[in-house]
């Protein structure tokens, strides 16, 4: 039989562990963020535009692929297209370094908005506002941009890492 002091010490340790676990889970779930992470392929060349108040904006789409079994039991690839938006310096850098078909990582938040179309009909849009990005492959376009930036520093890393 265990000594009562050891039993009491064991119970206290278990209680502290349970309290720590509850506090950790509460903290983890009380700070849920609106955060999206995607790895996909750029669907089109990025077109950089300027808003009426002078902000730079880039709208882009990326495709993600998911392999799953179809109704006939055969494996098939399902492609989903995602609409994304980048603002200011991120938009400028992304337009310089990315080309259609390139693989990239993006992180951002999901945004829902309403707008009135040219046909005067109210429409809804779901898009990811980019907060971070990374190129997952090198190409000739990025080498050209890097050679232009020699001595200035790596703008694509500094801007893509902003939070």
DSSP for 90-147?
HHHHHHHH--TT-EEEEEEEEEEEEEE-TTS-EEEEEEEEEEEEEE-S--HHHHHHHH
What's the pLDDT at 89? 95
Burial of 115: CB neighbours in 10 Å, binned 0-12, 13-18, 19+: exposed
Whole-angstrom distance, CA of residue 57 vs CA of residue 143:
24
How far is Cα of residue 9 from the mean position of the Cα atoms in its chain? Answer: 47
Residue 136 to residues 15, 35, 78, 105, Cα–Cα distance (Å):
46, 20, 21, 7
Whole-angstrom distance, CA of residue 83 vs CA of residue 129:
9
What's the pLDDT at 40? 95
Whole-angstrom distance, CA of residue 48 vs CA of residue 38:
21
Q: Which residue ranges of the chain lie beneath pLDDT 70?
A: 1-32, 138-163
Query: What predicted TM-score, i.e. pTM, was given to this entire model?
Result: 0.63
The most distant pair of C-alpha atoms in the chain lies apart, rounded to whole Å, by 83
What's the pLDDT at 163? 37
What's the pLDDT at 9? 54
pLDDT of 113-154, one tens digit each? 998 989 999 999 999 999 999 999 765 554 544 444 444 333
């Amino acid at each position: 039989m265990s000594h009562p002091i050891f039993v009491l010490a064991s119970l206290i340790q278990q209680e502290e562990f349970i309290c720590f676990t509850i506090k950790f889970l509460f903290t983890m779930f009380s700070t849920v963020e609106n955060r999206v992470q995607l790895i996909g392929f750029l669907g089109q060349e990025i077109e950089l535009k300027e808003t009426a108040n002078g902000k730079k904006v880039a709208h882009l789409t990326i495709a993600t692929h998911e392999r799953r079994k179809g109704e006939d039991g055969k494996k098939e690839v399902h492609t989903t297209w995602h609409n994304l938006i980048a603002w200011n310096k991120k938009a400028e850098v992304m337009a310089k370094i990315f080309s259609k078909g390139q693989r990239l990582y993006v992180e951002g938040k999901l945004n829902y908005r309403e707008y009135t179309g040219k046909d005067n009909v109210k429409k809804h849009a779901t898009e990811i506002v980019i907060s971070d990005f990374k190129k997952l492959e090198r190409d000739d376009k990025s080498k050209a941009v890097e050679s232009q930036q020699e001595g200035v520093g790596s703008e694509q890393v500094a801007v893509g890492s902003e939070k």
